[in-house]
Amino acid sequence: MRGRSAEDFRAMVEREAGEDGWDLGIVLSRGNAAAQEAKTASFTLASLPASARNAALDAIHAALAAAKDDILAANARDLQLARKAASDGSLSEALVSRLDLGKKGKWEDMLKGIVDVRDLDDPVGRIQLRTRLDDDFLLERVSCPIGVLLIIFEARPEVIANIASLAIKSGNAAILK
């Protein structure tokens, strides 16, 4: 937003909120709190051994598998609302079709993706490049977690599991929007 002031930004967001509105201060406060919590969590995630990160992925996989019926029922309710919005012209049919977790193979592929990520080699601490600069001086490029990832996505509920798996495997916290 180069060239715009904070007041311009606030006015734009408040216009977008419409008549029902919401308090921008509360929204920004919640966003800041989420970012701070993610930053704190990132330090823990970065220091976890691969076995703990893999165990977390196993736990996510098991929890999703156990809650399949509830999740698919909630997804079906969301789809009903989305189809109504599409019939009103406020959502595209393409977007609605991407929302369906019950499509043949989509749920299974999502769960398999978690296992596939778990089974990848641990990326944390991997030496990517090593150069001897002098007899007693070795320079190494070692992979390490970034910290906090901010991922913005639309209309693909399975992406939550994909991104969370990749973030955990790589020792990063993530904020998903």
CA 152 vs CA 80, 94, 102, 155, 176: distances in Å: 24, 18, 23, 11, 6
Q: How many domains does the chain have?
A: 1
The pLDDT of residue 7: 66
The pLDDT of residue 145: 97
Contact 166, 149 (CB under 8 A): no
d(CA 53, CA 119): 11
* Inside any domain, residue 29: yes
- Domain extent, residue 132, equals 6-14+22-176
The pLDDT of residue 6: 60
**Global confidence as pTM:** 0.80
* Inside any domain, residue 112: yes
CATH of the domain at 154: 3.40.605.10
* Inside any domain, residue 1: no
* Inside any domain, residue 141: yes
Q: With cut-offs at 50, 70 and 90, classify the pLDDT of residue 1.
A: very low
Q: Give percent of the chain above pLDDT 70.
A: 86
